[in-house]
Amino acid sequence: MTREVNQAGNEDNTLRATLNMIKQATDLLELTPDVYEYLRVPMRFVEIAIPVEMDDGSIKVFTGYRSQHNNALGPFKGGIRFHPESNPDEVKALSMWMTLKCSLVGVPFGGGKGAVVCDPRNLSLREKEKVSRGYVRAMGAVLGPETDIPAPDVYTTAQIMAWMADEYSNIMRRPTFGVVTGKPLAVGGCAGREEATSRGCVYVAKEAARTLAIPFKGARVAIQGAGNVGGFAALLMEEEGCKIVAISDSRSGIYNHAGLDAREVIAHKKKTGSLEGITGVKQITNEELLTIDCDILIPAAMENQITAKNAGDVKAKLVVEGANGPTTPEADQILKEKNILVIPDILANSGGVTVSYFEWVQNNYGFRWDLATVNKRLEEKMVEAFNLVYGFYCEKCTGSDMRTGAYMYSIQRIAEAMHYRGWLRNGTQR
Ligand code: GLU
């Protein structure tokens, strides 16, 4: 079974590649073509202008997007990123992955994603607040705790979620914190949400290592990204007894064959905003990090990092996709030939949305779970999802990769919901 690549052979065409994957999965499942017809476009795509008075008194108008891909399983759900390169196609692809992710891990949400085209590293706190509130003012009509629930994503934080929840509450004229997840604890956040994506990655990596008989304690780990996902992943993997040999951020990377002190490195990154100035390490580039000698590679930064150019040099035995879309279809093929197991993003990083779901449930009930309860429930969900998908992949996807298995497993559930909701009059199958 081979994966179709996008026709232009263009590796950065994330949306095209995602559509190819969805199409392939619906074909392999022999689903009615109506399923693909529903999934190939978002149900709604909104573009907004966000005027902001900058600190110097000038006016800047930022562009914002929200893609509401599919709500067959429940309200749209997914993060909002602040990134200078965000564009409609990227946001659409990201919203499709949310639909698949929520279905895969069994949380009752559909998929959505948003973005503001900006570089938050060049914005003051006050400007960031204005952008966040402006986004909700312009987009508020299509958001809501029962409609569409945003969350943090690349370069967005708990503080940004709090401003968004506050702005939405102003519009509704009552506290409506359940409209976003990933909030600070003081305004209806959930214990453990900040590190949930990373913790989910760790649970999945551990279960995969057990399944593949790779010793987890002492495993050498390389992590691309030192932000919310990569940073916590380094700390948590170290706590599990793994050896973090390399880590990078958007500017630079560091490597130490004997192992880095993750706590020290992440504390340094938090304090100085960079990985530069750490002694006793070798400086490496982001590109070099991906092909470093290690057992487990965690790409936890942006899309399209492992490509046809570098996949042949990847040395890890296991790739755990902390980021969304870090591996291109061409690279997937090469990694498969090299017998490297890639745990796909929609499974590996679904811990974030899982704990978002826990947060939303708690907001709806006005009740709070403690950290131990959250982590225990997260572990149960992640281990169960890994085993279900891995089992499905081994049984039904001989010769293909785990991503194909994950897409199939997920789409099957969505098709079933569509059928029962009466969207597919003639059943799910061809
Ligand atoms: N942005 C995260 C993701 O891509 C979390 C989404 C959420 O919690 O809704 O999965």
Ligand 1 mutation pick, 80, 83, 98, max ligand atoms within 8 A of CB: 98
The pLDDT tens digits for 270-329 are: 999 999 999 999 999 999 999 999 999 999 999 999 999 999 999 999 999 999 999 999
Confidence (pTM): 0.95
Cα distances from 49 to residues 25, 355, 376, in angstroms, run 36, 31, 42
Spell 347-377 as b/e; 16+ CB within 10 A means b: bbbbbbbbbbbbbbebbeeeeebeeeebbeb
Region class of 165: left (phi > 0), else alpha (psi between -120 and 50), else beta: alpha
Average pLDDT rounded to a whole number, residues 369-378: 98
Better-predicted residue by pLDDT, 4 or 94 = 94
Q: Which two tokens stand for residue 283?
A: 């400086």
Does domain 2-6+42-177 correspond to CATH entry 3.40.640.10? no
Q: Which two tokens stand for residue 43?
A: 């149900």
What spacing in Å lies between the alpha carbon of 227 and ligand 1's midpoint? Answer: 14
Instruction: List the 111-116 sheet strands across, edge first.
Output: 44-53, 59-70, 111-116, 76-82, 148-152
Tell me whether domains 2-6+42-177 and 196-344 share a fold: yes
Domain ranges of the chain: 2-6+42-177, 196-344
Residue nearest to atom 8 of ligand 1 (CA): 353
Distance separating alpha carbons of residues 147 and 44, to the nearest angstrom: 12
Tell which atom from ligand 1 comes closest to the C-alpha of 150: 9
Helices (H), 14-123: 14-28, 33-39, 88-105
What spacing in Å lies between the alpha carbon of 281 and ligand 1's midpoint? Answer: 33
Does domain 196-344 correspond to CATH entry 3.40.50.720? yes
What spacing in Å lies between the alpha carbon of 152 and ligand 1's midpoint? Answer: 6
Catalytic residue of the set 77, 92, 101, 113: 113
Q: What is the largest CA-CA distance in the chain?
A: 65
Verify whether residue 113 is a known catalytic residue: yes
Distance separating alpha carbons of residues 416 and 427, to the nearest angstrom: 8
Write down the mean pLDDT value for the chain. Answer: 95
Distance separating alpha carbons of residues 199 and 350, to the nearest angstrom: 10
Classify the C-alpha dihedral 166-169-173-176 as positive or negative. Answer: negative
Checking if the pLDDT of 331 tops 50, the result is yes
Average pLDDT rounded to a whole number, residues 20-38: 97
Ligand 1 mutation pick, 71, 153, 164, 358, max ligand atoms within 8 A of CB: 153
The answer to whether the CB of 363 falls within 8 A of the CB of 177 is yes
Checking if the pLDDT of 1 tops 70, the result is no
Question: What's the confidence (pLDDT) of residue 343?
Answer: 98
